[in-house]
A = this chain, B = another copy of it.
Amino acid sequence: MKIGFTGAGLDRADALRLDEARLAELAAHSDALLLRLSGFDPELDADGRLVWERLSGTEAGEALIFLGLRGDLPLFAPLVRGEAGRPAWSISALLDRMHAEDAAIWGGARTLLEWHGRHLFCGRCGSLTRAFRGGWGRSCPNCGLEHFPRVDPVVIMLAEYGGRVLLGRQPRYPPGRYSALAGFLEPGESIEEAVARELFEEAGIVVGEVRYVASQPWPFPGQLMIACIASALSDRVTLDMNELEDAFWVDRAGVAAALCAAPDAPFLAPPDYAIANTLLRHWVGGEDERLAQPGRAA
């Protein structure tokens, strides 16, 4: 089963990140490629593929992020400064066109770019930091603190009760869209505790068993989406109207209809690059299906 933003198929070659001489050599390599970006967004060719250009060799090492190797080919992204600001419909239009491995490569780069822009100064002493490790960190020349890219774990889950699952609707969703409930995991809790807390906070649902299903990086700006199914102890819902404007229980037939966009579907399914879609497909298919296997990493 396809999971959005996974399957980049690159060797991250992280051992090279600390080897500045070797990184400079790779950047000077005649085959080295630079990802073409417009702000944080990718430029796509007519086939919806990422556009790569030759590295001129004049780019300074510090202004590049080393993405890794594709075979022998070193891939870089420009360390541009900026702020993200695309509206959601545009991200969606972009992602509908992109190939899976390209979305994964760009997603990782995008997370790094946004992280750099928010970590120009040292949080401990306030000094200007500088990028190091091929763009996979920043260090403070004043106090010496090293800063590493941030990934925020988010739990996203279906509460299940009597053959139905709970879907919710946030005000910002497009008309008809319902999706799995979700929230940031906090310091001091496990995945299972975060799932139980979020379902209780947002919908008043008390859960028993929590089952992990799959995970996905989400580059807006840098979440790790952790998808679970939780057995609810009752189907009585108390909605937190600050989080959700509506929620309802739906059976497998209803989810299946939504996933194939049937005209009589009870809701509009989340897009296929979102793990809420993967989670719903998994639930409709039953528990036996194998999900989320890498197999590409080596």
Residues of A within 8 A of B (CB): 3, 5-6, 8, 12, 14-15, 104-105, 107-109, 111-112, 115, 117-128, 136, 145, 147-153, 184-193, 195-197, 200-201, 206-210, 212, 214-217, 219, 222, 224, 226, 240, 242, 290, 292-298
Query: Can you list 13 A-B pairs, Cβ within 8 angstroms, ordered by A?
Result: A15-B201, A115-B187, A118-B124, A118-B145, A121-B123, A126-B127, A148-B152, A149-B187, A185-B224, A188-B219, A192-B215, A210-B294, A212-B212
User: Known interface pairs A145-B118, A201-B15, A295-B208. Does A219 touch B111 (Cβ–Cβ under 8 Å)?
Assistant: no
Q: Top 6 closest A-B pairs, CB basis?
A: A108-B188, A196-B297, A111-B187, A121-B126, A196-B294, A212-B212
Chain B residues whose C-beta falls within 8 Å of the C-beta of A206 in the assembled complex:
298
Query: A293–B209 contact, CB under 8 A?
Result: yes
The closest CB in chain B to the CB of A213 belongs to: B212
The closest CB in chain B to the CB of A242 belongs to: B15
Chain B residues whose C-beta falls within 8 Å of the C-beta of A208 in the assembled complex:
293, 295
Chain B residues whose C-beta falls within 8 Å of the C-beta of A109 in the assembled complex:
188
The closest CB in chain B to the CB of A3 belongs to: B190
Query: B215–A190 contact, CB under 8 A?
Result: yes
Query: B217–A189 contact, CB under 8 A?
Result: yes
A216 CA to B193 CA, complexed, in Å:
10
A107 CA to B122 CA, complexed, in Å:
25
Q: Among B152, B200, B216, which residue has its beta carbon within 8 angstroms of that of A151?
A: B152
Chain B residues whose C-beta falls within 8 Å of the C-beta of A188 in the assembled complex:
5, 8, 104-105, 107-109, 111, 217, 219
A180 CA to B224 CA, complexed, in Å:
22
User: Known interface pairs A124-B120, A201-B15, A224-B191. Does A186 touch B293 (Cβ–Cβ under 8 Å)?
Assistant: no
Q: Among B108, B215, B293, which residue has its beta carbon within 8 angstroms of that of A187?
A: B108
Other A-B pairs, 13, CB within 8 Å; known A112-B187, A119-B123, A196-B297? A8-B189, A104-B188, A115-B187, A121-B121, A123-B123, A151-B186, A151-B187, A190-B214, A192-B293, A208-B293, A209-B290, A210-B292, A210-B293
The closest CB in chain B to the CB of A83 belongs to: B124
A150 CA to B147 CA, complexed, in Å:
12
Query: B149–A186 contact, CB under 8 A?
Result: yes
